[in-house]
Every structure is written in C-alpha cells, then in structure tokens.
A and B are shown apart, each in its own frame.
Chain A
Amino acid sequence: MPFIPHTETDIREMLDAIGAESIDELFDEIPESLRIEGLEGVPSALNEMQVTRLMHERAAQDRDALSFIGAGAYEHHIPALVWQLTTRGEYYSAYTPYQAEASQGTLQVIYEYQSMIASLTGMEVSNASLYDGASAVAEAALMAVRANRKSKSRRVVFAGGTSRTYQKVAQAIAGTQGLLFDESPLDPARGIADPEQFLAGDEPPVAVVIQQPNFLGNLEDVDALTDAAHAVGALVIAVVNPTSLALIRPPGEWGEKGADIVCGEGQPLGVPLSSGGPYFGFMTTRAALVRQLPGRIVGRTVDVDGKPGFTLTLQAREQHIRRSKATSNICTNQGLMVTAATMYLAVLGEEGLARVAAASHRQTQKLVSALTSVRGVECAYDTPFFHEAVLRLDRPAADVLARLAEHDVLGGLDLGVDHPELGNALLVCATETKTDEDIERYRALLAEVMNEQGSLASAG
C-alpha cells in the first residue's frame, strides 16, 4: 500500500486544476544540477514482517548490558506513569499544534513545560523545545549573534571543556552562516577552563559557550567565566544538564548578571536512551531577548469570553511567516519528548529531581572511589564533579573496555577518540540506576581485566 493515499486519478485531477502537466513540473524552480536521481545507500523497501525481524535482531545485539556510559545521554529511572500518560491518544503526537481551537490540552502541556524549564534554568522565558542538545547549541550561537548587535565580531568561543560533538554540530550548522568558532584552552591539571586564560589576548567574541558540568563531568568556575565574558561585551550561552540544576546554581544566577541564553539536552528528563534518539533540546533566555528566541513559544491568554486559554505566540519571526529571515529555518519542537519531560518533572517534583541528582552524584563518588582502588587506575582530576568523572588508566582504554563488554559491562567512554590529548582516559558515569552491587560488579571485573592484561603484558 502506498504511503500517500492519492490515486492516479486524484493526482491527475489536482494537476489539471492548477494547470500543471506533471508532478516534476512543480519542482521546475530547482536547477537540474541540484537534483539527485536516487538515494545511494538507501536499501530497497522491506515488508512489515521483515522489518520486525530486523529490529528484533538489532535490539538483541544490545543485550542487557550494565552501562556506565554517560557523555551526553543519561540512563535514569523513568516512572511508568510518564510514558503511560504520554502515549495516551490525546497527547500522542510529535506535531506542533497550530490550531488553538483544537489543541488546548497539548498547548497547555507545552506551556507547563516552558514554565518548568524556565524555572529550572533560572531564566524568564523558554521556547517549546528544539531537536536536541547539540543543535540547540548551534541555535543559541546564531541567536547570540542576532541579539548582540553591539558586537562587530562573528566569533563564538567554546570553553575548553565543552562537548566536542556539540562543537562539531554547531560548526556544521552555524559555520556556513558566517560564524567562526574557537575553543579556549583547558587547564590540564584541573580539567576545567581557567578564567584567567579564558579570553586572554583575544579580540572580544560575540558570545561564549560554557558547559556546566563540562563534558569531562567537572564543575567549571562559572561565575568567573561569566563575568569575564560580560566584561568584554560577549553574551554568555550556558549549556547545562537539567538534572544537575536541581542541586547546583542555575545559569540565571551565574556571576554578576547571569547567563544570557541557556540550552542543553533534555533527554535525562524522562526520555529513554533508545539508541541515541529521538531526544529534545531546550532553550531559555531573558525576556528582553525573547524576540530572538528561535522556535515555537506557547503563551497563555484569554478568549473573547475572558476564559483562560493557550496559543502559539510571537510567531511573526518564524519560518512560515518570515521565510529566509526567520530566527531559524531548521528548528521545530519535539512535542512527544517534551510531553514526556513534562510528565517526568510533574511526577518527580522539585524534591524528586533533587533526590535523583543527589543519588547520581553519590553513586558516581562511590564508583570513582571503587574503581581507583584498582591498580593502574587513578582519578584524572581533583576537581568537583556532578555525575561523571575522568579516570586515567595505565594502558589504552579501548582494550579494557572491549574485555569488559565481553562480560556485558559497558565501562564508560574512551576519551582517546575525541580527546587524544588526555592520554589513556576513560569517562565514567553512574546515575541513581546503578546500585552498590552494580558498582562492586564493575570494580571486581575491572580488577580481573587489569590483572589479566597486566600479567599478559609482563609475560609478553
């Protein structure tokens, strides 16, 4: 059955009605040179039975591993209520509700989401979400250039600990729109940006990006970094883990004036790891910058009878109206993921989220302490962390991780790939889902692997 339910007759009638010969004629404006004949690498269609079989086989490859990998996506317990409510027919849509008269429930969910995220980040306004954390960083950089009209610069500086993946995505999206990206040096002893060196000797950039906790799990001196950036007229983009904000100071309170734009990956709030997506990005800012905020925004208003209601607002700068001059031409909201996040935050509440954050921090402390008791493993930094930390091994992390995986333990992220300058470094994470027994299982297995490889090495 074709996915598009138009018969040949339907199509012919529609073409006749508008006076076009063929469907191809509708695409006349696109030059031949920009068209492609087919999509190489996209296999031919499978039927439902074949797809089901394929997905079962793929899922089985994941097995039931014990994962200590974080690095941007985090395994948290999701109360059953969250997806039970989210998948109800009334909510189960990824689409943005343009029709206020038919979408009050969905619009209110998004409005509640915006209120929660604004409150969590300590900012005044939130949009209805973006694709994911990485593209949110790119959108934040573009927004900063629009908002900071006093600056002549098009350069955005990432604090040294910012996720390299986020940096690459920002480069891919915003680099083609005239933005230049730089990375400030990381203090090798502490694994955070040194405020003294942060913007030293540079022409002042239009904006800086500070990730807290940074990609290595460490807590940056965000007050000093924020003030240093504001002192040279740069806007501050904060990239934050939403769970951590239940415990640490929100970006709205960084330094003297607070961050200007806050964004990040929303996945930890009720969205399963799910092989990497779909996730959602969040973005908040000060009220003064709301007109530069990309994406949908839901507002609360009153109808003709004075009854409260919800509607999309501040749409005049969106792509369906302002076309190429819109605040963004690639963003949408992730309606379904945002619904889950709203249910998650509503179920946990302020206290529940703080308990999740505290338990994650506590279990990570226990993990680091357990693993560094193994010979050949040490903690790379003495810097405070949230729920991730860097371990330094006496041999390449990849070899150790491969042996652990044979025992269904995913021992962390090998930093040798994106951060070769850190040596044999391993990024480990524990959330509230990792019990003391899980941590002991990892420690014992790691000791065995290090011992066995160590004796193999000495025998060789």
Chain B
Amino acid sequence: MNNIPGDLKYTDEHEWLRLEDDGSVVVGITAHAQEALGDLVFVELPEVGQEIDAGDGIAVVESVKAASDVYAPINCTVSAINDALADTPESINEDPYGEGWIARITPGDRGDLNALMSADAYQEFLENLDD
C-alpha cells in the first residue's frame, strides 16, 4: 500500500502540497509517482522568482526511462527550490515527502487550494486507477 500522509493535499498528477503556516506551499511528487518513474537521475528545477500558471511545468523529473513534467497545481510564484536535488535526485525516491521536496511556492490565490484532494480522496483516486 502506498504511503499517503494525512496532512498533505494532492493532485491527480500525483503531486503533494504542504500548506505552511507562513502562507507558502511546499510541492513534491507522491510516493506512487516516484515508484512509477523508477530511479530518478536528474531533476530540472524552476528559477526562484519565476511566475508559473496552473497547469504549466514547474519541474522536470527524469528517470532512466522517462522525463516527466511536474505541473504547477495553481497559479504561483516560486519562492525557493530544493537545490540539493541537483546532486541527490534519488532523495525523491527515498523520501518523497521530506528531503525530496521540489519547490516552495507562493500561491496567487489561496482559494485555489480548496480544489485539491485530501489524503483520503487521493487514496481513492489511486485505487480507481488500478481498476
């Protein structure tokens, strides 16, 4: 069974978001996503300060078999990136919800976050994918 922390929000593109007290949001990819991609060898990160529209690419995660986009779930501005991934992309495989975080963003409109899935909803989403 997949590891789906209860305190995070999720998207149907298999990204997780952690809403921080300071209003920022941390983004990464889920345990399910990293497992599907296989061993990651490279992560292409956005620039700090970059403004990204919902649905546009915020990062590219590359495994030995595929390069996949990580999409911005909401309109946002990038406030920090996980530089350590340049040297240790495998952090995403090993600790997708911790050391493997990708970027910290400032939402354009916090209301957009309401449309995201809860852990339970994402769990159900994954179960339906398996059908």
Measured CB to CB, the residues of A under 8 A from B are 149-150, 291, 316-317, 321-322, 325
Q: How far is the CA of A325 from the CA of B67 in the complex (A)?
A: 9
Q: Is the CB of A316 within 8 A of B63?
A: yes
Q: Are B47 and A149 in contact (CB under 8 A)?
A: yes
Given contacts A316-B67, A322-B67, 7 further A-B contacts (CB under 8 A): A149-B47, A150-B47, A316-B66, A317-B67, A321-B65, A321-B66, A322-B66
Contact A317:B69 (CB < 8 A) given known A149-B47, A291-B42 = no
B44 nearest CB across to chain A (Å) = 7
Q: Is B1 an interface residue (CB 8 A)?
A: no
B69 pairs with A325, CB closer than 8 A: yes
List B contacts of A291 (CB < 8 A). 42, 44, 62
Residues of B close to A321: CB separation below 8 A = 65-67
Q: Does B129 contact A (CB under 8 A)?
A: no
Beta-carbon nearest neighbor of B45 in chain A: A149
Select which of B47, B65, B69 is within 8 A of A316 by beta carbon.
Answer: B65
Q: Which residues of A contact B63 (CB under 8 A)?
A: 316
Which residues from chain B sit less than 8 Å from chain A, CB to CB?
42, 44, 47, 62-67, 69
Tell me whether B65 and A317 are in contact (CB under 8 A).
Answer: no
With a cutoff of 8 Å between Cβ atoms, the chain B residues found around residue A316 in the complex are 62-67
**Docked pose: A291 CA to B44 CA in angstroms:** 9
Query: 20 interchain pairs (CB within 8 A)?
Result: A149-B47, A150-B47, A291-B42, A291-B44, A291-B62, A316-B62, A316-B63, A316-B64, A316-B65, A316-B66, A316-B67, A317-B62, A317-B67, A321-B65, A321-B66, A321-B67, A322-B66, A322-B67, A325-B67, A325-B69
Q: Please, how many angstroms separate the alpha-carbon atoms of A291 and B59 in the complex? A: 14
Say what secondary structure dominates the interface of chain B.
Answer: strand
Docked Cα-Cα span, A408 to B98, in Å, equals 75
How far apart are A320's CB and chain B's nearest CB, in angstroms?
11
Whole-angstrom distance between the Cβ of B69 and the nearest chain A Cβ:
7
Query: How far, in angstroms, from A251 to B62 measured CA to CA in the complex?
Result: 30
Nearest residue (CB) in B for A318 is B67
A residues less than 8 Å from B66 (CB atoms): 316, 321-322
**In the complex the two chains form, what is the Cα distance from A317 to B42 in whole Å?**
11
Q: How far is the CA of A322 from the CA of B63 in the complex (A)?
A: 12
**How many angstroms between the C-alpha atoms of A67 and B64 in the bound complex?**
50
Per the bound structure, the CA–CA distance linking A321 and B47 in Å amounts to 25
Q: Which residues of A contact B44 (CB under 8 A)?
A: 291
In the complex formed, the residue of A with least CB distance to B41 is A316
What residues of chain B lie closer than 8 Å to A149, measured between beta carbons?
47
Give the complex CA separation of A325 and B57 in angstroms: 11
* A293–B69 CA distance with the chains assembled, in angstroms: 18
Contacts of B42 in A (CB 8 A): 291
- The residue of chain A having its C-beta at the shortest distance from the C-beta of B47 within the complex is A149
Chain A residue nearest to B69 (CB atoms) is A325
Provide the bound-state CA to CA distance between A390 and B63, in Å.
52
Provide the bound-state CA to CA distance between A113 and B44, in Å. Answer: 29
Residue on B nearest A317 in the bound complex, by CB: B67
Give the docked Cα–Cα distance between A321 and B44 (Å). Answer: 17
- Cβ-closest chain B residue relative to A291: B42
The answer for the CA separation of A316 and B42 in the assembled complex, in Å, is 10
- With a cutoff of 8 Å between Cβ atoms, the chain A residues found around residue B47 in the complex are 149-150
**Complex Cα–Cα for A258 and B42 (A):** 25
Expressed in whole angstroms, the Cα–Cα distance for A82 and B66 within the complex equals 38
**Assembly CA distance A88 to B120 (angstroms):** 63
The chain B residue with its CB closest to the CB of A316 is B67
Closest 8 CB pairs of A and B: A316-B67, A317-B67, A316-B62, A322-B67, A316-B66, A321-B66, A149-B47, A291-B42
Residues of chain A within 8 A of B65, CB atoms compared: 316, 321
Q: Which chain B residues border A322 with CB–CB below 8 Å?
A: 66-67
Residues of the B chain whose Cβ atoms lie less than 8 Å from the Cβ of A150? 47
What CA separation (Å) do A316 and B44 show in the bound complex?
13
Residues of A close to B64: CB separation below 8 A: 316
| CB of B103, distance to nearest CB on chain A (Å) | 14
State how many angstroms separate the Cβ of A154 from the closest Cβ of chain B: 16
The closest CB in chain A to the CB of B50 belongs to: A149
A106 to B3, CA, bound (A): 45
A304 → chain B closest CB, angstroms: 16
CA distance A325 to B62 in the complex (A): 13
**Residues of chain B lying within 8 A (CB to CB) of residue A317:** 62, 67
Alpha-carbon gap, A291 to B42, bound state (A)? 9
Min CB gap B108→A, angstroms:
19
Distance, CA A291 to CA B63, complexed state (A): 12
A248 to chain B, nearest CB (A): 35
Which residues in A have their C-beta under 8 angstroms from that of B62? 291, 316-317
Separation in Å of the A372 CB from the closest CB of chain B? 54
